[in-house]
Homo-oligomer: A and B are copies of this chain.
Amino acid sequence: MATLREVADKAGVTMPVVSAYLRGSKTVRMSEDTRRRVAAALDEVGYVPNLAARSLRTSRTNVIAVVVPKLDNPALAEMLRGIYDAAQEFGYVVMLGDAARLTSGSQMLEHLLAHGTVDGVIVRRSSSLDTRVLADMAERGLPVLFLDDESLHDFTWLALDDAAGIRLATSHLIDLGHVQIDFLGGLDPIPAAEFTRIRYEGYVAALKERGLAPRPPIMSGQAPEDGYEAFSTLVAPRVAHRRKDAPTALVVNNVTTATGVLAAAYDAGISVPGELSVVGYLDTAAASMARPRLTTVRMPMYELGHRGVAALSEIVKGEHVRSAVLADIAPTLIRRDSTGPPADHTAGQK
């Protein structure tokens, strides 16, 4: 537990000199001999700084908290890479947490709201947080940046161009010749997540552009099990019995949900893409391990995370940051094996 004072005494200098040496201060000049003595003393006592003392003095911690809805959501892995990379560039340490643990009155919330703990917070999905928690953050004036969507008011956010992404997925199916295309997915119950509305509207827009009739969304939670359940009960019966209103293709809001859809199709004996094409939104490693390999739309998740940190650092500095959609990076279609022409076009091929 050597302190700056001990190091200074040992080196025959004063504390501020050691402090300046440690911080690599450019304004304080010291002789080569002084440097050497300080370095030797530092090394000799095995000096380790006390960051609590530094934070108390500077009222900065260089720690940012990152809160995500589900820690093990693979679709977020790339966003986290972007966040960690940017954090390193900006000199931040990242403290990652689960939104489910950040409840009102929780130890973790107390920690974030207190002074001297984190400089700011990045939250993926405001809807994964209690409204009381959001209110606390706002009231406390905590610098927060949301990685959300364009429907979030009252806070600063950065968003993917979800409408464009889903439009791309839908257009791909239209290009293949599909006409009866359904939208399934992630309509979280309460609060009726706005982000899904925007995604659904991307689907609607794509169909209308091409003179096709949009169909009502098929509600589903986001987990694989949710996709399995929704597909089994709401889609599979229509497809299996070749009902006139059966879709020949499906836009699935989330890639995670889509893996459940694939399992359900398999269990129902529905061939993908033979009888039904499936495209998932967002891309993960699991998409290429699924059988059939899942066609997806890849979004700039890395950039979302990276720019999020940059924006937060501005907010921390007290500067005003404008909410924005990442529309300058186009979504990419990752064509794999789960999409193909509709059955009636390929009758001869199979």
Residue in B52, B72, B98 whose beta carbon sits within 8 Å of that of A55 in the complex: B52
Let me know if A224 and B71 touch, CB within 8 A. Answer: no
A94 at the interface (CB under 8 A from B): yes
Q: Which of the candidate stretches A107-115, A166-174, A315-323, A342-350 sits at the interface with the other chain? A: A107-115
Question: Does A208 belong to the interface (CB within 8 Å)?
Answer: no
Q: A16 an interface residue at 8 Å Cβ cutoff?
A: no
A87–B98 Cα distance when bound, in Å, is 13
Q: How far is the CA of A71 from the CA of B95 in the complex (A)?
A: 12
Q: Is the interface of A mostly helix, strand, loop or mixed?
A: helix
A50 CB contact (under 8 Å) in B56, B71, B98, B111: B56
CB of A53 closer than 8 Å to a CB of B: yes
> Which of A's residues lie within 8 Å of B, judged by CB?
1, 46, 48-56, 61-63, 71-74, 76-77, 80, 84, 87-88, 91-98, 101, 106-108, 111, 113-117, 139-140, 223-225, 228, 259-260, 262-263, 266-267, 285-286, 289-291
A sample of 19 cross-chain residue pairs with beta-carbon separation below 8 angstroms, ordered by A number, consists of A48-B140, A50-B116, A51-B114, A52-B53, A52-B56, A53-B116, A63-B111, A71-B77, A72-B72, A72-B80, A88-B101, A88-B106, A91-B107, A94-B108, A223-B285, A224-B286, A224-B289, A228-B289, A259-B286
